[in-house]
Structure 1
Amino acid sequence: MGSESANSDNSELAAELAKASEKPANFGSMGSVSNGSVSNGSEFTGSESLSEADSLLPLSVIAQVAAGAETSTQITVNGRSIPNSWASWARWSENGQTRIGLSDGAIAQLVGADLLDTNAPDRQPIQWFSPMPVTLAARQIGAFRYLDITDWARDRGWQLRPNGSTLDITAAVSTLRALRQGNQAWGPRYVLDFDRPTAVQLEEDGSTLIVALDARSALPPNSSTLDITAAGNRTIIRIPIPSGSRPRAFTLVQPDRLVIDLRPDWLPSRSIAWANGLTWRQQYLSLGSARFPVQWLELNPRQPGLRLRPLPPNAAGQTGIAPLVQTIRQWEAPAGINGGYFNRNTQLPLGALRRDGRWLSGPILGRGAVGWNDAGQFLFDRLQLREQISAGSQNWTLTTLNSGYIQGGIARYTSDWGSSYKTLSDGELGILVQGDRVAQQLTGGTAGSSNFPIPANGYLLVARSLSSVAAALPVGTTVRLQSSSNPSGFDGLPQIVAAGPLMLQNGQIVLDAKREGFSDAFIVELAARSGFGQMADGRLLVVAVQNRVGGRGPSLSEMAQLMRQMGIVNGVNLDGGSSTTLVVGGRIVDRPSRSAARVHGALGIFLNSP
């Protein structure tokens, strides 16, 4: 949840990112504070932000943490199982006492607490039905960042019962006493009054906001035009979302209230040091009169243990797509963003993915790519892979490697593609090469009707619209393979992700989508976009940009300008539109989870060697 007050743009973002100084946390809105008490305030005045002096009030630090922990993703709340990927908990012993931690995603989405600014990864301020923020101790375990809720939950009357691998949470059920609606300059505001703090879950489903409460309803019948379903100690409210708006919610006290604003400028500014070397930021950036919600991860590649890896949707082959959050969880990455392009119908890659020196899929059309190694070397450029086979005096330049991109000529497939290859066009010829010799020829029928095996100790050549190669490469023929990248600097980099277009080099915008084979329709499209870039000091930014206030997402040109405004000097565009998804700690943070499309590849961020 975010703060109530609007957040100003930072037109000097690049300069801010270059500063080494630390800023005090932005604690959002929680009513007007006076001498440690909170006045009722008015939910409809728009004036409930903390003053600068109030924001510097001391925080309450709950607990320290120690090494060693058990973790699980099985949680129940008041007897209700929580199946979501972000619902993870941990248990550890400290000073002879058992401590319980919830992942920060669970705190935010299961409880409804607002994660506030912090420059310390082991401390996380939260705001949830309290006059002042409370800072919980945090610890990084695997793919999650856990907040110690042991004392915090006890002080609120919760019971935490570890039951094998399941954490049973029992919280006092509150009563929903009133629901009011008003209008602000930005759109509708809903205020829910309770007799005590209550767990809140907000989920966007298209044009509807689903508000799920661990609260019984005391609302008079027909007192609201909203769709309200009350059953026992559970109340579900469905609120229509105006076109172009998203919810921003926060809590107040005296009485305990949940305030939900539906507004075009929904994104609160945040800066959270999520782990050593990884900071999660979000705010609006402006280009002229356009304001874009930008969320990004700032990475320090010099941080010991921090690694980036290309991630396929499965380890068995390159066919298939999956929700990004599933891929990230499968590889146990703490964070990640969607990667290159793919064919949604065939579910095959259309861009380069090289992991640990192995081409899982090869580049096409000389598109923008980034390559790197764990020593901190990065190369951003347009990438071509030149492969050539020769037999006797004849030579053939191959079209693609492990790719769903179809061209006439000869393509090559290795066991990284999978154990077999299903024909992509009519009348293909398969040539199995083992030990540098042609072992077998196979003739395919119509597209999709034939499967050619891919030898583990060789590769498969697939000839398309090139029948003459059958006579030139009979069984027993010795075949020589040569492979090199252009620019050659990519050859020595074991990790590569390619999508395109290339956006920036040496601080200059070098966008040329036509040169990289993108269609005119793609070039002018306004859509959500993902990007990856390097700053002048070596820091890396993983960027997701959604729809502008009152309109659609950025054009390619606008995305390049936004990346440069953020201080990126070398950068590449990744797949975008419904594919644009940023995951942190097991949950999607940049868009409603139900709106995220399945994707093929990803760029995963690890805090220890993957």
Structure 2
Amino acid sequence: MGVLVGLGLAGSALARPVAIGGLMQPSSLDSRLIAGQEMMAAWTLPRLGVAVRNDPADLRLQLGQRELRYAPATGWRALGFALGVPLPLPQLQGGSLYVPLEALRLLGVGVLADTPGLLDFAAPTSVPVATLPPSAPPSAPARPAQSVPAPSAPVRPVPVQPAPGQPAPGQPAPAVPTQQAPTQTPPTQPPPTQPAPPPAPVEIRPVSPPAPAAPPSPMQTGIPLPVPQLSTRALAHLDTVRVSRTLYRTVEVQRVVLEFNDIAPYSVSRQSAGLSILMPGVTSQPQTQTLPSGDSLDIQTTPTGSALNLTTSGGRSTVFTLDEPYRIVVDTVTYTDDRVPPPVNPDAIPEGVTYQQRGALHVLSFDPARFRPRVISAPLGRASDVGELVRSVGGVAGVNGGYFDPASNLPVDLVELSGQMTSGSLEKRGTVGFTAQGEPLFGYPRPRYVLSGAFGSVTVNSVRARPDAALLTAFVGDGRTSVGAGNLTTVLVAPGAAVIERAQSGELVPGAGVLAFTFDPVRFPALPRLAGLPLSVSLNWQASDAPWASAVEALGAGPLLVQGGRVVLDPVREGFNTAAGIWRATRQVAFGILSGQSAIFFLEHGTPETFAAALAGIGVRDAVRLDSGSSATAYLSGGYGGMGGYLNTVWSRPVPNAIVFVPRSADAQKAQPQKSSK
């Protein structure tokens, strides 16, 4: 990418020095070329009149009635106007968040000049003069100098020495009519590719009654007039430091707020045990303190400004800014006890997700225009935390799926993925399914694989890898699990095909997604047993209570709690033993529909009866219970410090499958055809 120099990236025509209203800015405001895109640091944008929330998890840029927002889960969004074209992603570099230049153009930031050697923005009237270089245009109103404490090791300006015949500073001057101070000869200008160093502030005193005759000029006396030396100009002063600490379950949130009298430039450097914030041109009073969390905070002055060092005992720190007054905020989130899951943060819910709590009942509902529910499974015979299953597909939330055998991690009821039944149905319990568009289905389907050909048709008895000479078994290959045995025959059919791809006796490992059918040729003599022979496979749902033929994903669980807004709990119909632990009062989870939106429901403690009554009481239209007790888990991304949050207050066991809410934008991207590399 090149080497960073004072005016952007060496050799890059896109990384350029920046001017505002024709006035060159410090090199810290230069644009940068990152990931092939020209970008600017978010902390510099208030100088252009853009209000900024400098948070990588929730970036916000606003100018007038236009606003751009970015979050990792949703991408860029425009408020007050149409986005129109996709924007490059923001980038973190050196602890600072950078945004693409195209975002500023979409907001309507004024550009005076856009040339290979310079990017000149119009100076916004809302930006204080003190945020611009000291040589402001004559039309800009003057601003009183700020009175700030001197740093412990400042670079002080050399006092202006009086010319012969003039009173020393602080001494009364003879009364003369008010006149303009003589113009000092400016220092030699640096090369045009470097921004001019700011001059030291020079105090101009109005004087009254007549002054003695003007002294001889340097040309007459040969004595050069003293010229003030330059110093680092203070852009802002650190006025106050505030610290707060809050515990949420076992998550500690520590906030350090630095409040300034003006916009303060900064850069962040992260270490293994904390971070440093460098603030060039900022004055401060040195201080060191131990925070209530046990972390240490140290503020020092430097030759170029000030620096904050925050030493933490772990955790994640996020740095962002707030306005009116200008503040730099450092939020440090520490997970103090990993034996307890972190909680959901109700103040950081992803856009399009609604969270509400009604007593012991918690509800997460999802905008159907933004998210669709999907069934996601761990590899066969394995189990995963629900949060891991959500992250594996870029989802925002999830809930555990149906029942399974803890010893083998194999489901004990229906699982359908991408139109293939990977686990057979018990054919009696409440089931939830999803169409290709993500529309939920609720009911009691009885799906079976059916093989058809010249021989007629035959229904598959079981879905499993383990062979049985007395049965016709089906299995969806995963590329690592073997099927078949001894004298049994196995035929393989590729997804969507209507002919046998391969046939053989004994054990074999079908490829991922390939359907394998194992049988005893003596018991099923009519079934074809040679590659290339026609064989059609279909999934017969044998149900009349919902359009299950359109289902591409499904989970069997139960009981069905609510249907059509009424409690329909029927343990006898679904074959549940109400005297067993599966019916006990414990944590309960369900998937259902509330106010037209798919939703996750979590009850802290209760029986299926109390759960069903609570759901019907809040207006739930349909709902089916999923696995409960020690498996009950409801996860939402985001949380404190980006670690995600759980509605359950104790850890749940890993599960083989889950219902996950995935952004529709991510689904659309996956569905797009890939460009050929040829």
Matches within 5 A, 1:139-154: none
Measure how far apart 1:160 and its partner are: 5.7
Does the CA-based 8 Å contact 2:395-2:661 persist in structure 1?
A: yes
Which residue among 529, 532, 553 is the counterpart of 1:475? 529
Does the CA-based 8 Å contact 1:268-1:282 persist in structure 2?
A: no
Q: 1:339-367 deviations in whole A, cap 9, x for unaligned? A: 22222322223333434434444433332
Measure how far apart 1:555 and its partner are: 1.6
Measure how far apart 1:374 and its partner are: 6.0
- What residue in structure 2 maps to residue 161 of structure 1? 268
* Secondary structure, aligned partner of 1:486: coil
Q: Does 1:433 align with 2:492?
A: yes
Q: Does 1:499 align with 2:557?
A: yes
Measure how far apart 1:533 and its partner are: 0.9
Which residue among 448, 471, 486 is the counterpart of 2:542? 486
Does the CA-based 8 Å contact 1:269-1:282 persist in structure 2?
A: no
* Secondary structure, aligned partner of 2:362: strand
- What residue in structure 2 maps to residue 20 of structure 1? none
Measure how far apart 1:393 and its partner are: 5.8
**Percent of aligned pairs sharing the same letter:** 20
- What residue in structure 2 maps to residue 295 of structure 1? 362
Q: Does 1:309 align with 2:368?
A: no
Which residue among 99, 108, 113 is the counterpart of 1:92? 99
Q: Give me the whole-angstrom Cα distance separating, in 2, the residues matched to 1:501 and 1:319.
A: 25
TM-score (ref. length: structure 1): 0.51
Q: Give me the whole-angstrom Cα distance separating, in 1, the residues matched to 2:469 and 2:570.
A: 23
Matches within 5 A, 1:443-462: 443=506, 452-454=508-510, 459-462=515-518
* Secondary structure, aligned partner of 1:602: strand
Measure how far apart 1:401 and its partner are: 3.6
Moved more, 325-334 or 383-392: 383-392
Q: Does 1:175 align with 2:175?
A: no
Matches within 5 A, 1:326-365: 326-365=388-427
Letter in 2 for 1:280: Y
Does the CA-based 8 Å contact 1:270-1:282 persist in structure 2?
A: no
Does the CA-based 8 Å contact 2:94-2:268 persist in structure 1?
A: no
- What residue in structure 1 maps to residue 57 of structure 2? none
Measure how far apart 1:592 and its partner are: 6.7
* Secondary structure, aligned partner of 2:623: strand
Does the CA-based 8 Å contact 1:270-1:283 persist in structure 2?
A: no
Q: Give me the whole-angstrom Cα distance separating, in 2, the residues matched to 1:502 and 1:562.
A: 14
Q: Give me the whole-angstrom Cα distance separating, in 2, the residues matched to 1:529 and 1:453.
A: 38
Q: 1:461-486 deviations in whole A, cap 9, x for unaligned? A: 245xx785365647337655443113
The aligned length equals 388
Does the CA-based 8 Å contact 1:341-1:600 persist in structure 2?
A: no
Q: Does 1:515 align with 2:573?
A: yes
Does the CA-based 8 Å contact 2:632-2:648 persist in structure 1?
A: no
Over 3 Å counting, the alpha-carbon distance change for 1:170 and 1:399 in structure 2 is: farther
Matches within 5 A, 1:209-608: 213-214=294-295, 274-284=349-359, 292=360, 294-301=361-368, 303=369, 305-313=370-378, 317-373=379-435, 377-389=439-451, 396-401=458-463, 409-415=471-477, 418-422=478-482, 429=488, 431-434=490-493, 436-437=499-500, 439-443=502-506, 452-454=508-510, 459-463=515-519, 468-469=522-523, 473=527, 475-476=529-530, 479-487=535-543, 489-519=547-577, 520-535=579-594, 537-546=595-604, 553-586=605-638, 587-590=643-646, 595-608=651-664
Does the CA-based 8 Å contact 1:310-1:602 persist in structure 2?
A: yes
Measure how far apart 1:540 and its partner are: 2.4
Does the CA-based 8 Å contact 1:433-1:458 persist in structure 2?
A: yes
Q: Give me the whole-angstrom Cα distance separating, in 1, the residues matched to 2:410 and 2:591.
A: 22
Matches within 5 A, 1:18-167: 64=62, 66=68, 67=76, 70=89, 91-92=98-99, 161=268
Unaligned runs of 5+ in 1: 1-59, 77-88, 98-110, 116-125, 131-148, 177-193, 195-211, 217-231, 237-257, 259-265, 285-291, 444-450, 547-552
Letter in 1 for 2:375: P
From the two aligned structures, give the one with the greater strand fraction.
1
Letter in 1 for 2:432: V
Over 3 Å counting, the alpha-carbon distance change for 1:213 and 1:474 in structure 2 is: farther
- What residue in structure 2 maps to residue 203 of structure 1? none
Does the CA-based 8 Å contact 1:438-1:473 persist in structure 2?
A: no
TM-score (ref. length: structure 2): 0.47
Unaligned runs of 5+ in 2: 1-50, 54-59, 69-75, 77-86, 110-243, 279-286, 298-309, 315-332, 334-340, 668-678
Measure how far apart 1:215 and its partner are: 5.3
* Secondary structure, aligned partner of 1:598: coil
Over 3 Å counting, the alpha-carbon distance change for 1:326 and 1:455 in structure 2 is: closer
Q: Give me the whole-angstrom Cα distance separating, in 1, the residues matched to 2:591 and 2:608.
A: 14
Over 3 Å counting, the alpha-carbon distance change for 1:467 and 1:517 in structure 2 is: farther
Q: Give me the whole-angstrom Cα distance separating, in 1, the residues matched to 2:422 and 2:399.
A: 18
* Secondary structure, aligned partner of 1:469: coil
Does the CA-based 8 Å contact 1:337-1:581 persist in structure 2?
A: yes
* Secondary structure, aligned partner of 1:453: coil
Measure how far apart 1:506 and its partner are: 0.9
Over 3 Å counting, the alpha-carbon distance change for 1:442 and 1:516 in structure 2 is: farther
Q: Give me the whole-angstrom Cα distance separating, in 2, the residues matched to 1:283 and 1:153.
A: 42
Over 3 Å counting, the alpha-carbon distance change for 1:358 and 1:398 in structure 2 is: closer
Q: Give me the whole-angstrom Cα distance separating, in 2, the residues matched to 1:452 and 1:410.
A: 16
Q: Give me the whole-angstrom Cα distance separating, in 2, the residues matched to 1:560 and 1:407.
A: 43
Measure how far apart 1:331 and its partner are: 0.9
Measure how far apart 1:544 and its partner are: 1.9
Letter in 1 for 2:509: P
Q: 1:48-78 deviations in whole A, cap 9, x for unaligned? A: xxxxxxxxxxxx99664635575789999xx
Over 3 Å counting, the alpha-carbon distance change for 1:588 and 1:526 in structure 2 is: farther
Over 3 Å counting, the alpha-carbon distance change for 1:393 and 1:61 in structure 2 is: closer
Measure how far apart 1:380 and its partner are: 1.0
Does the CA-based 8 Å contact 2:414-2:555 persist in structure 1?
A: yes
* Secondary structure, aligned partner of 1:307: strand
Q: Give me the whole-angstrom Cα distance separating, in 1, the residues matched to 2:400 and 2:288.
A: 39
Over 3 Å counting, the alpha-carbon distance change for 1:512 and 1:373 in structure 2 is: same
Over 3 Å counting, the alpha-carbon distance change for 1:299 and 1:173 in structure 2 is: farther
Over 3 Å counting, the alpha-carbon distance change for 1:152 and 1:579 in structure 2 is: farther
Over 3 Å counting, the alpha-carbon distance change for 1:173 and 1:343 in structure 2 is: farther
